[in-house]
Amino acid sequence: MEKPTISTIIVIISLLIIGLYAMGEVNYFSSKIMVERNIDAPTIVIPSIGVEEKINNVSLSQGVMSDPGENLPTENPVVLYGHRTLQGSPFLRVNELSIGDTFLLEWPGIGELNYSVVNYTIVPATFDFYPEGENTTYLITCDPIGSTENRIIVQGDLIAKNPINNTIIKNNPQESNALIISALFLIIGAIISYFYPKENRLYILATVLIISAVLFYFCFNPIPSELIYDKIIFLNGGL
């Protein structure tokens, strides 16, 4: 087998970088499975932008986070934070919401709470935010994509309260995401290696197989995803 060419080394480095991001996402979804299986956890559903996420009060690395976690809708203002890039990107499309759009919270012990968007604003990250209103829920994420310079704040006011939808509470649409990401990396990587020049093909294939093995390992033995993202944050310009 010939020594790897410069172009092969570049491809290998590219695969390693993509693999690191894939590892971050695989660990995110694998670690979240227990959160998603917790039927006592509330759920946020925004049909217009494809959001159906369990809400936790521990960390953004587990998805959509309520802070402060002890606040209950109809008793206190609820503030929900979510990443817009990486770690599942639960609030990736929050910027598409407009005045009059609706979202709902399935909150065990309280019910199905329907909200209408009444305000949408973008503020600097240093903005002092003071939530108010026991019938108000705020959705907050970063803006623009890939940056922490600003915050999008979407305010929704309660318009209806109904019995809880147990089907939504029990559903876990993200349970297979870690395996899907791992399988896609393996398949796409195998295709790339198949069409790569024969003299350096084994280098690419070996890289793909090693990274894929690590991805599948993390599917069943996850670590906190922030441990990976903290090491590669410089790739996003330090943001």
Q: In CATH, which superfamily holds the domain spanning 39-170?
A: Sortase (2.40.260.10)
How does residue 151 score in pLDDT terms, banded at 50, 70 and 90?
Answer: very high
Q: With beta carbons less than 8 A apart as the criterion, state whether 189 and 214 touch.
A: no
Residue boundaries of the structural domains of the chain: 6-31+175-236, 39-170
How does residue 203 score in pLDDT terms, banded at 50, 70 and 90?
Answer: very high
- Inform me whether the pLDDT recorded for 40 exceeds 90: no
How does residue 238 score in pLDDT terms, banded at 50, 70 and 90?
Answer: very low
Q: For residue range 91-143, list pLDDT tens digits in order.
A: 999 999 999 999 999 999 999 999 999 999 999 999 999 999 999 999 999 99
- Inform me whether the pLDDT recorded for 34 exceeds 80: no
Query: From CA 215, how far away is CA 25, in angstroms rounded?
Result: 10
* Helix, coil or strand: residue 160: strand
Helices 201-220, 6-37: crossing angle, 10 deg rounding? 10
Bond preceding residue 90 cis, omega within 30 of 0: no
Instruction: Give the amino acid at 87.
Output: Q
Mean pLDDT, range 66-87, rounded to an integer: 92
